Amino acid sequence: MTSFTDWDILRNLLFAARWTLLLSLLAFLLGGLLGATLTFIRSLKRPMFNWIINIYVEIFQGTPLLMQMFLAFFGLSLIGIEVSAWTAAILSLTLFSAAFLHDIWRGCIESLPKGQWEACRTIGLTYTQTMRYVIVPQAWRMAIPSTVGFSVQIVKGTALASIIGFVELTKAGTMLNNATFQPFKVFAMVAILYFVICFPLSLFARHLESKNYASR
């Protein structure tokens, strides 16, 4: 049996944590881009588009992320599309994140007084100008704390990618545990690394939320 020192375990976990961070960042950015697109489309108030977006949101919010990863990894192969564990993880986390980020941003936009839309139309602003200069700046200020807070859920959600074979922090912890037979030590380190990643984000979200309330 290969002998692992504490530093060997930590070094391997830190290497895997880089993939956790990269997966989280890409899922957040791509999910944010898709979520923003859905939000803008929904703000057009087109019944057909709204109906399609509602179905999408209900599916990805109403089913476990683990099942979504299974479908992305194994389901696509059934129709002849072979994807890697990395691609399946990115795809499922992006679609999952977009559904929640869209809901956060939609709620912030709809919380603004309807009179602001009417006032913008009265002074002759186009839809694009209304969104750019009036609606988005106010909605974004309210959305930032929730958006940053949701990023913590994305980081924790990456742990499920280990089920489909992607070697991120949780998967690396499982492999090291199998090699060292020291579950308490290995998974304690895994938990600490997740905490180190997530806790600053949680603090930042609370700070933004308190700052937002204080400035109202």
- Per-residue pLDDT at 110: 87
Contact 105, 39 (CB under 8 A): yes
Hey, what long-range contacts does 181-186 have (CB within 8 A, 24 or more apart)?
Answer: 182/9, 185/6, 185/9, 186/9, 186/13
* Token duo for residue 84: 């890697």
- Per-residue pLDDT at 43: 85
* Token duo for residue 181: 């037979």
Give the CA count within 13 Å in the CB-facing half-sphere of 180.
Answer: 21
Residues 18-41: pLDDT tens digits? 999 999 999 999 999 999 999 999
| Domain edges within the chain | 6-214
d(CA 25, CA 72): 19
* Token duo for residue 32: 């944010």
Residues 135-158: pLDDT tens digits? 888 888 888 888 998 999 999 999
What pLDDT tens digit does each residue of the chain (216 aa) get? 457 788 899 999 999 999 999 999 999 999 999 999 999 999 888 889 999 999 999 999 999 999 999 999 998 888 888 889 999 999 999 999 999 999 999 998 888 888 888 888 888 888 888 888 888 888 888 888 889 989 999 999 999 999 998 999 999 999 999 988 899 999 999 999 999 999 998 898 888 777 765 455
Name the pTM for this structure: 0.89
The verdict on domain 6-214 having CATH code 1.10.3720.10 is yes
Residue count of the chain: 216
